[in-house]
Structure 1
Amino acid sequence: MTLPRSTPADQGLSSEGLDGFVAALDASKQELHTLIVLRRGHVVLEREWSPYRLADRHLLFSVSKSFTSTAVGLAVEAGLLSVDDKVVSFFSGDDLPDKISDNLAAMEVRHLLTMSTGHSADTVDRLGRTGRMVQGFFQLDVENAPGAPFVYNSGATYILSAIVQKVTGEKLTEYLRPRLFEPLGITEAIWETSDEGINMGGWGLSLNTHSLAAFAQLLVQRGEWEGKQLVPAAWIDAATSAQVDNSNQDNPDWKQGYGYQFWRGRHNSYRGDGAFGQYVLVLPDHDSAVLITSASPDMQATMNVIWDHLLPVLEGKEVSGTAKESLEILPPAGPAPAAGDGQTYTFATNDHGLSAVRLDADGGGTFTLDAARPGESGTQEITFAPGDWTEQPYTLRDPAQRMVTSAYGDGETFVATARLLEAPFVMTLRCRVVDGRLSVGVNYNVGFGTTDETLVSE
């Protein structure tokens, strides 16, 4: 289903005020990709920063958790589990340790949902993202009694996904498809799957922004959709209420309480959010929601723009502003690259998958990438040329993703830029021949851990 469109004025909002909000986002240091604002069940604002598109899938990171919570709520409604069930009761054999500690034995489904498992740190950093992750989770010490202070824990959400799969016999995507995705008109959902055949739960879901808007409107309507109660209203209420105290967090919109895989925020808001600025933000007091995909280095800064520039519009205050008619992210500017030597330089196996580079006399370059990350396979040659973005598919993932590339010269350095348009990642490669070998400085705009490294050809 496509949500109805409306002029802002018909929903009690100022067009000029919304333009000012867009202008403030565009002027911020938070790189926006797509934006939708809902009011009274209508789309009153939708913008995309070219070459990104509202209709393209976007990797959602921890927004995935809110969909996992919804699957748990549906399984609870079906009588397949309860939030009071002990976590270990769903597992057996060598998934569990020989000796189950008192704290592990006391852990309930509700503790997984509320990030209060008793672990002292996020388990995903210790159990890893490959191999037998369920077994790895249960092998970890549970340092505190469950219900202890809030500790953000993506590994706990993975276990929720495993539990849903245990009790339903289906992965999250399969279980949600007829119960949530299809009724909302979501057809493009893909979800990263672990080596164990379990959807990651806490991350890895990709949807487009229109689908996020449908999910947000379902939340606004407390689980009702076209006259049918898709998700119990009581579950939506519980999931989006403050279930645990998370005032131990640093940023103001991340310390207002945590529900069942949803954050509470200021101004009586709640949201699902994901790394680098993916948002499903609901404002019940204003019958509104905000959907954003982005590559933000500071997620609180984006929330501040919403409160400073959109909230007054929702409150009916006189606000004015002007937004650009066309929003776009331009390729890095610079002179054409110097002529290359046409030699192919090869590299030892590395975390970036860069195996070979050739810089040609016409100022273009060809980079060979091998699969280097979970979910990737094969080998691909990616071309870089000066000027406007050149679009080409990124085929190391299945299905292939949209990608744009460009290049410019910085003295004797060939600077290549690649944007993966279904994720927030931008890769910049600075290539220079030094003493007969090619040095490539690899930089990512956002990432977990180190985002800079220098590779030297063999």
Structure 2
Amino acid sequence: MTHTLPAGTPADHDVDSRGVSAFLDAVEAAPNIEPHSLLVLRHGHQVAAGWWAPYRADRPHMLYSLSKSFASTALGLALDEGLLRLDDRVVDFFPEYRELATDPGTRAMRVRHLASMSTGHTRDTWDEVESDPGDPVRAFLRLAPDREPGTVFAYNQPATYTLGAILQRLTGTTLAGYLRPRLFDPLGIDAATWQQDAAGRDLGFIGLFLTTDAIARLGELYLRRGVWQGRRILSEDWVAAATRPQIPTTGEQNPDWAQGYGFQFWMSRHGFRGDGAFGQFCLVLPEQDAVVAYTGATVEMQAVLDLVWRHLLPAFGTRGSAADDAALAARLGNLALPPVPGGDPRPGTWSLSPAGAGASPLTEVVVRDGEIVLREPGTELRLPLVPGRWTVVDEPVPVAVSGGWADGTHLAVDLLFLHAPHRLSVTADVDAGTFDAHWAATPLLPPSLRLLRA
């Protein structure tokens, strides 16, 4: 970061440290939640920040669909610059596909429908688009909407992808390239990488890697209605439109997903948010004048929000003691994920084959004195095994490894991919010559280990 966020103690900004500590207790105790980072802003000041080692502050984290809120910001900037309008027809940006878009619903689709997930489709069409060879925009425009655009919500990845394609066509650069001088540099966000497809487009709907600090900065920009430290970055009209309901989402089962959808932002029971699969959150709480940035790994994202509302929300507006602040600061500086239990290395070398088919990309595991080697086509990870701790290796993929021998025959090792919300567990039976590997939560991208890094 080119400059740090203003900092203060929780008590300085009427935040009760005991509520923050209670949230830490809750996420650490939850069996299906693995926390990676937490950063809390109040009154524009950082009042609490911590990373569960081996995750750390300077590493970017895969945002999954929280990427959409940054794509939305690119749209807001382009609208402010007069490059397009929300009511422009989508097909008019792609004249080469106009004749293919024969359905009246497709021809009626506007930019606002892409941004609000109200294209008229009643499902996510990404698998259909991806299975159609060639340009994903072409494939999307060939899929007739089920309803009139603007009348129904469906979380539809090609909508955001097509929005990004429009912006890249208009600006002559990638989404990340367009945002660099307009958003990232003014907000002091250094590292920002966006995964691309074969067409050279930033994916838009997923694929952005940023630090937790950067997530908090985006939230602060929207909390201040588009102004960053006295400088207007986004128009107030855009912020207001993006963060109010544009389409109802009453069909969603979880309460914080049923509050309506804006322009690539979700409405919440409290405030609004950007979020990404497995627990990446940018929570903006205007009533509390607060932002909560959080990353982690869980399939129970509603459970994380429930804990925020239960513990963090009541902490805003209540002053704790200096002793409570000191205790919280000490705890935040020593957060850590527990290592995987395991015994000391066993002498010998074993080359192991997969025990069965699975989602893991691994094709071979080699175990030898104090080391485990994991192989997939084109990638090899050589990882030291040190019982009782996480050991970090940065190349070719940033990963932390922990584990060891359960007995003379069986080995258990976990890998944390430090740019992503993913843990891979590998168990080996050296006598049988086989290994099993499974994800705690299977990546949404194709299962290549190299895709799990910025």
TM-score by length of 2: 0.89
Equivalent position SS for 1:128: helix
The counterpart of 1:307, out of the listed 269, 290, 309, is: 309
CA, structure 1 residues 353+86, in 2 after alignment: closer, same or farther (shift >3 Å)?
A: same
Question: Considering only aligned residues, what root-mean-square deviation do their CA atoms show, in Å?
Answer: 2.5
Q: Which residue of 1 aligns with 2:381?
A: 381
State the one-letter code of the partner of 1:54: A
Q: Shift of the alpha carbon at 1:257?
A: 0.8
Equivalent position of 1:447 in the other structure: 442
State yes or no: 1:70 paired with 2:73. yes
Quote the residue 2:338 is aligned against: 330
Return the match for 1:28 from 4, 27, 30: 30
Query: 1:99–1:330: structure 2 CA closer, same or farther, 3 Å change rule?
Result: closer
- Please say if residues 57 and 207 of structure 1, whose CA atoms lie closer than 8 Å, have aligned partners that are also in contact: yes
Q: Which range moves more in the overlay, 403-412 or 230-239? A: 403-412
The CA distance in 1 between the partners of 2:6 and 2:341, in whole Å, is: 39
**Percent identity (aligned):** 38
Change (3 A) 1:12 1:381: closer
Partner of 1:248: 251
User: Could you tell me whether the CA contact under 8 Å between 1:405 and 1:419 is conserved in 2?
Assistant: yes
Alpha-carbon distance in 1 for matches of 2:292, 2:309:
11
Residue 452 (structure 2) aligns with: none
Q: Which secondary structure state, in structure 2, belongs to the residue aligned with residue 416 of structure 1?
A: strand
AA aligned opposite 2:440: N
**How far does residue 70 in structure 1 lie from its aligned partner after superposition?**
0.7
1:160-239 alignment, distance < 5 Å? 160-239=163-242
Distance in 2 (alpha carbons) for counterparts of 1:450 and 1:198: 16
Q: 1:100 aligns to what?
A: 102
Query: Per the alignment, in what secondary structure is the counterpart of residue 115 of structure 1?
Result: coil
How big is the shift at 1:195? 0.7
Following TM superposition, by how much is the alpha carbon of 1:135 offset from its aligned partner in structure 2, in angstroms?
Answer: 1.7
- Asked whether the equivalents of residues 8 and 15 of structure 1 are also in contact (C-alpha less than 8 Å), the reply is yes
1:398 corresponds in structure 2 to none
Determine the structure 2 residue equivalent to 1:391: 392
1:40-439 correspondence to structure 2 within 5 Å: 40-93=43-96, 95-96=97-98, 98=100, 100-128=102-130, 131-267=134-270, 269-316=271-318, 325=331, 326-336=334-344, 338-340=346-348, 342-345=349-352, 352-360=360-368, 362=369, 364-370=371-377, 378-387=378-387, 388-395=389-396, 401-411=397-407, 412-433=409-430, 438-439=433-434
The answer to whether the 8 A contact 2:256-2:267 is kept is yes
Q: 1:254 & 1:334 partners in 2: Cα distance?
A: 41
How far, CA to CA, are the matches of 1:136 and 1:210 in structure 2? 37
Q: For 2:345 and 2:376, how far apart are their aligned partners in 1?
A: 21
CA–CA distance in structure 2, aligned partners of residues 355 and 300 of structure 1: 35
Deviations 1:163-215 (A, max 9, x none): 00111111101111000000001110000011111110010001001111111
Q: Give the letter for the 1:71 counterpart.
A: A
Q: For residue 390 of structure 2, what is the amino acid of its counterpart? A: W
For these two proteins, the number of residue pairs brought into alignment is: 434
Shift of 1:444: 0.5
Letter in 1 for 2:35: L
Range with bigger deviation, 287-296 or 143-152: 143-152
TM superposition shift of 1:316: 2.7
Q: Per-residue deviation at 1:123? A: 1.6
In the superposition, relative to structure 1, how do residues 99 and 213 fare at CA in structure 2: closer, same or farther (>3 Å)?
closer
Please list every run of 5 or more consecutive structure 2 residues that lacks an aligned counterpart in the other structure: 448-454
* Deviation for aligned residue 1:101: 0.6
In the alignment, the residues of structure 2 paired with residue 173 and residue 32 of structure 1 have an alpha-carbon distance, to the nearest angstrom, of 27
Asked if structure 1 preserves the Cα contact closer than 8 Å seen for 2:10 and 2:320, the reply is: no
d(CA) in 2 for partners of 1:251, 1:272: 15
CA contact (8 A) 1:337 1:414 kept: no
Deviation at residue 351 of structure 1 after TM alignment = 6.0
What is the identity, as a one-letter code, of the residue corresponding to 2:412? V
Which structure has the higher relative contact order (CA within 8 Å, separation 6+)? 2
What amino acid maps onto 1:255 in structure 2?
A
Structure 1 distance, partners of 2:446, 2:195, is 22
Which residue number in structure 2 is paired with residue 375 of structure 1? none
CA distance in 2, matches of 1:97, 1:415: 57
Superposed CA deviations along residues 80-108 of structure 1, whole A, max 9, x for unmatched, are 11110111110022x45535110100111
Contact persistence 1:97–1:138 (CA under 8 A)? no
1:96 and 1:135 in contact (8 A); partners too:
no
Contact 2:137/2:162 (<8 A) preserved: yes
For the 8 Å contact 1:189–1:207, the answer to whether it is kept is: yes
Q: Helix, strand or coil: the match of 2:363? A: strand
Q: 1:301 to 1:349 in 2, by over 3 A?
A: closer
CA contact (8 A) 2:352 2:430 kept: no
Q: CA deviation at 1:363?
A: 5.3
Deviations 1:353-404 (A, max 9, x none): 42332222x353222233xxxxxxx422322414122211241xxxxx4211
Gaps of at least 5 residues in structure 1 are: 371-377, 396-400, 453-458
Q: Report the alpha carbon displacement of residue 434 of structure 1 after superposing the two structures with TM.
A: 6.1
User: Is the CA contact 1:97–1:139 (under 8 Å) kept in the aligned structure 2?
Assistant: no
SS at match of 2:294: strand
Distance 1:16 1:390 in 2: 32
Q: State the 1:148 CA deviation.
A: 2.4
Q: Is the 8 A contact 2:353 2:435 kept in 1?
A: no
Counterpart of 1:419 in structure 2: which amino acid? L
In 2: Cα distance, 1:265 partner to 1:350 partner:
36
The answer on 1:11 being equivalent to 2:13 is yes
Deviations 1:269-318 (Å, cap 9, x if unpaired)? 10000000000000000100100010022100010111111111114388
In structure 2, what is the equivalent of residue 456 of structure 1? none
1:72 CA drift (Å): 0.6
